Amino acid sequence: MKIKLIALLLAFALVAYACDSSSSSEPEEDIDELVGAWVSEGVGNVAPGLAILVQTARIDAEFFENQTYSVVSVDSSGAAVNFEGNWVAGEPNEEGIRTITLNQSVPTTLTSSGIFRVDGDQMTYEVIQSSPALEGVTPPTPEGGFGSTIQGGQQAGPLWIQRYERDRD
C-alpha cells in the first residue's frame, strides 16, 4: 500500500511539474528598459539649460508600455507643468545609446528628438525640440553622443544633458 501511495504522489508531482513547465515556456513579452518612473532632481541631474532658462528644479517622468509618457516639471518656486504624449525609441548603438522621439500633445503639440541610455537604474537623456524647429538648434545623435546638441553652430556640451534615477517608490 505504501508503494502505491508513493507512486501515486510521484505521478502527481510529475504531472504538476509538467503543467507548471509548459505554462512557463510561453514567451514573455519584453518590456522596454525605458518603461517606468524616473526622477531628475538637483544640480548635476537637471539639465543646466533647463535650470537656467526655466528654473527647473525637478522632473518626474513616466514612460508607459503603451508608448505614452507623462512628465511633471517643477520649477524652483514649486510651480508644476504637465507634459504628455507618446514616444518611440530606436535600437541601441555599440555604446547603448538609443534615439528617442517624443510627440507631445499636452500642454502644446510639438516634437522633441534626442538620445538616451539606460544603465541599470540610471538614465542619461538629451532631447531638444525638433518640430517646430528651433532656429540654429539641431538635436543630438547617437553618433555624436551626449553633448552633441548643436546650438548656434556649436556643440552645446552638457547644457541639455539630463540624468535620471529610476523611481522605486
Structural domains in the chain, sorted by start: 36-166 (2.40.128)
Confidence of residue 17 (pLDDT cuts 50, 70, 90): very low
Angle value at C-alpha 159, between 157 and 163, nearest 5 degrees: 100
| Segment 141-164, tens digit of pLDDT | 999 999 999 999 999 999 999 999
Q: What is the pLDDT of residue 169?
A: 76
Average pLDDT over residues 9-26: 40
Residue 22 has pLDDT above 50, yes or no: no
| Segment 70-83, tens digit of pLDDT | 999 999 999 999 99
Mind giving me the DSSP string for the chain?
-HHHHHHHHHHHHHHHHHHHHHHHTSPPPP--TT-EEEEEESTTTS-HHHHHHH-EEEEEEEE-TTSEEEEEEEETTS-EEEEEEEEEE----TTS-EEEEEEEEESS-EEEEEEEEEETTEEEEEEEEEETBPTTEE---TTT-TT--EETTEE-GGGG-EEEEE---
Q: Read off the pTM.
A: 0.82
